[in-house]
């Protein structure tokens, strides 16, 4: 049974909270419907609208204060995250999908079922929505994230493809490896496949990163000298070299570096100099460029519900969202702007009742 309200009260009951985040994030704001009382055990649809999605896959997590929810995934390519087993009648859920499918699910396919007690309940929930990449590996020590891309590209193409990716405000870059610890982490990200890293001695890639008075006059001067070609270390000379035995071999055309060379013979994480035009997989690193704004968030789990009248009807119908850090302001503006509707609908609402 769906919750029904008189027309005037229904307009007042839709308390909307908008939480903006930095525009570099996959989702710049979440607008969630949190208004309306629902009778015990009754079900009602609710909606969550996203703004600012750039088209990449998204990961969603929703937690309820009470009751259960269902997500109708019919016709949508949604995947439950590890540890979640159902889209139906759950108090908490996390799933992934394309931006289009996730947006549809949140806007059109959500149902909340109120708990058995008390006799009527008010929807409280938290929602996070952010970028999702299957296979993303997070180094807990550094906080950086790494993503293996199995498609084979040349070094410059891999550099540009990495820079086109974004993780909740962080700009991707072709991986830089500056310590044995990081080399060990990155070696396993690709399942020990040979792949590009950001180091290069190609003059056309290095000189644009250097001040005019430090640029090289010819390629011979750069032979055997490598610089990071992307990332926060772009333009810095490479000083850590876990070379494969016999490398660098000094070939004139070998101006970029591959790692995990002949793992089966010599172990992981060993580097070789190679041609920049060689096509190979690559690893994207996130961290150090951009602002890590994290997933967009909405949270009114601790919000106080509007009071009930003596006749059991809601006296206010607007939630104090308690969203941090912008939700309280958004709710206050909503209360002020909807005050007239609340007054206009109060008499009608009391005479006809609030719950189906």
Q: Does 97 map to a domain?
A: yes
Judge if 150 and 118 occupy the same domain.
no
What DSSP line would sit under 256-283, residue for residue? EEEESTTHHHH-SS-BEEEETT--EEEE
Q: pLDDT at position 188, please?
A: 93
Judge if 148 and 285 occupy the same domain.
yes
Is the backbone peptide bond immediately before 210 cis, with ω within 30 degrees of 0? no
Q: pLDDT at position 291, please?
A: 87
Give how many domains the chain has, as a whole number. Answer: 2
Q: Does 306 map to a domain?
A: yes
Judge if 143 and 285 occupy the same domain.
yes
Judge if 15 and 113 occupy the same domain.
yes
Judge if 315 and 237 occupy the same domain.
no
User: C-alpha 338: how far from its chain's center?
Assistant: 33
Q: Does 92 map to a domain?
A: yes
Judge if 226 and 120 occupy the same domain.
no
This prediction's pTM:
0.74
CA distances from 38 to 1, 3, 13, 113 (A): 10, 6, 11, 8
Judge if 107 and 161 occupy the same domain.
no
Judge if 320 and 342 occupy the same domain.
yes
Q: Which CATH number characterizes residue 175's domain?
A: 3.10.100.10
Judge if 213 and 305 occupy the same domain.
no
Around 121, how many Cα atoms within 13 Å sit in the side-chain half-sphere?
21
Judge if 171 and 110 occupy the same domain.
no
Q: Does 60 map to a domain?
A: yes
Q: What are the b/e assignments for 240-251, b being 16+ CB within 10 Å?
A: eeeebeebbeee
Digitized pLDDT (tens) for each residue of the chain, 356 residues in all? 233 322 222 223 333 333 333 335 678 889 887 667 889 999 999 999 998 876 789 999 999 999 999 999 999 999 999 999 999 999 999 999 999 999 999 999 999 999 998 888 889 999 999 999 999 999 989 999 999 999 999 999 999 999 999 999 899 999 999 999 999 999 999 999 999 999 999 999 999 999 999 999 999 999 889 999 999 999 999 999 999 999 998 788 999 999 999 998 888 999 999 999 999 999 999 999 998 888 999 998 888 776 665 445 443 332 323 233 223 223 322 333 333 333 333 333 333 333 22
Q: pLDDT at position 18, please?
A: 39
Please give the residue range of the domain that contains residue 112. 7-124+300-352
Supply 162's token pair.
């990495």
Judge if 20 and 143 occupy the same domain.
no
Q: pLDDT at position 306, please?
A: 67
Q: pLDDT at position 207, please?
A: 96
Judge if 188 and 119 occupy the same domain.
no
Q: Does 37 map to a domain?
A: yes
Reference 54, options 93, 102, 90, 17; nearest CA is 102
Q: pLDDT at position 65, please?
A: 93
Q: Does 295 map to a domain?
A: no
Q: pLDDT at position 209, please?
A: 97
d(CA 190, CA 299): 36
Name residues whose C-beta falls within 8 Å of residue 333's C-beta, 6 or more positions apart in sequence.
Answer: none
Q: pLDDT at position 344, please?
A: 35
């Amino acid at each position: 049974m769906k919750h029904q309200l008189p027309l005037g009260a229904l307009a007042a009951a839709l308390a909307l909270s908008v939480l903006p985040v930095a525009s570099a994030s996959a989702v710049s704001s979440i607008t969630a419907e949190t208004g309306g009382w629902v009778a015990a055990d009754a079900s009602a649809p609710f909606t969550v609208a996203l703004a600012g999605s750039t088209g990449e896959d998204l990961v969603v997590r929703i937690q309820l204060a009470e009751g259960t929810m269902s997500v109708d995934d019919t016709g949508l390519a949604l995947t439950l995250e590890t540890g979640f087993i159902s889209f139906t009648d759950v108090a908490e859920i996390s799933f992934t999908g394309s931006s289009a499918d996730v947006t549809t699910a949140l806007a059109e396919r959500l149902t909340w079922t109120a708990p058995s007690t008390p006799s009527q309940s008010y929807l409280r929930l938290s929602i996070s929505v952010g970028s999702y990449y299957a296979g993303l590996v997070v180094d807990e020590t550094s906080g950086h994230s790494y993503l293996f891309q199995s498609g084979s590209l040349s070094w410059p193409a891999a550099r540009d493809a990495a820079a086109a990716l974004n993780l909740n405000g962080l700009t991707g870059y072709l991986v830089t490896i500056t310590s044995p610890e990081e080399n060990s982490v990155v070696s396993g990200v690709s399942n020990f496949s040979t792949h590009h890293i950001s180091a290069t001695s190609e003059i056309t890639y290095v000189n644009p990163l250097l001040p005019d008075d430090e640029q090289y006059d010819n390629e011979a001067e750069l032979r055997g000298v490598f610089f990071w070609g992307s990332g926060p270390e772009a333009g810095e000379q490479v000083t850590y070299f876990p070379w494969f035995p016999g490398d660098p071999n000094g070939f004139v055309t070998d101006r970029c570096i591959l790692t995990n060379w002949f793992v089966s013979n010599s172990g992981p994480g060993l580097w070789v100099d190679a041609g920049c035009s060689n096509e190979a997989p690559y690893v994207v690193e996130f961290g150090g460029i951009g602002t890590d704004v994290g997933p967009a968030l909405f949270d009114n789990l601790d919000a106080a519900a509007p009071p009930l009248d003596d006749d059991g009807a809601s006296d206010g119908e607007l939630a104090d969202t308690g969203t941090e850090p912008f939700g309280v302001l958004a709710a206050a503006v909503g209360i002020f702007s909807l005050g007239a509707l609340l007054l206009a609908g109060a008499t009608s609402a009391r005479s006809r009742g609030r719950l189906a």
